[in-house]
């Protein structure tokens, strides 16, 4: 009987002893995860916004020749929105930043530019225009559409001169 009494105690000690490395491993894994997160968050590890680790690339400054830039005005647009029984109007005026040598080509295609901007602005809802970050998002969308119509590399930027919702 003495043998049977010792056997359960020995098994119990082995079970408790085998759990210790598992618990220690889990605690170390959690601490390592938290430490890695905090190191990336604090900028101690060279991980960029793209999530790719590596040396930080040196950025070369972009030199813009402001003497070679020309601003081509876009015909002012008035877009009406009739939602909730009340009519509201958006007055929009912009200019396109182009290189001096390409201003004549862009001016010649201006009816297409006005058409694409008018079509885009009419497709929007009033809630899209009333958001706090609406102008930044809309400006990017309009620039992308204008560059698609005019051709890549001809229009550098779209400058919003007037954006009034009456």
Judged by average pLDDT, the poorest of 34-38, 57-61, 68-72 is: 57-61
Question: Percent of the chain at pLDDT above 70?
Answer: 78
Is pLDDT at 58 greater than 70 in this prediction?
no
Is pLDDT at 119 greater than 90 in this prediction?
yes
Are residues 90 and 163 in contact, defined by beta-carbon separation less than 8 angstroms?
A: yes
The model's confidence at residue 36, banded by pLDDT at 50, 70 and 90, is: confident
The confidence score (pLDDT) of residue 83 equals 78
Paired tokens of 28: 């170390």
Residue-averaged pLDDT of the chain = 83
Are residues 149 and 116 in contact, defined by beta-carbon separation less than 8 angstroms?
A: yes
Report the distance separating Cα 37 and Cα 32, nearest Å: 9
């Amino acid at each position: 009987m003495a043998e049977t009494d010792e056997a359960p105690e020995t098994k119990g000690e082995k079970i408790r002893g085998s759990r210790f490395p598992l618990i220690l491993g889990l605690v170390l894994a959690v601490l390592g995860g938290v430490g890695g997160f905090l190191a990336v968050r604090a900028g101690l590890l060279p991980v960029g916004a793209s999530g790719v680790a590596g040396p930080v690339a040196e950025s070369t400054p972009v030199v813009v020749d402001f003497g070679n830039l020309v601003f081509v005005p876009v015909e002012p647009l008035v877009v009406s929105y009739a939602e909730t029984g009340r009519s509201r109007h958006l007055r929009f005026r912009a200019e396109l930043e182009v290189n001096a040598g390409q201003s004549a080509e862009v001016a010649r295609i201006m009816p297409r530019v006005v058409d694409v901007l008018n079509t885009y602005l009419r497709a929007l809802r009033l809630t899209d225009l009333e958001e706090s970050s609406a102008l930044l998002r809309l400006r990017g969308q309009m620039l992308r559409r204008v560059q698609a119509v005019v051709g890549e590399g001809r229009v550098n930027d779209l400058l919003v001169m007037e954006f009034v919702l009456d």
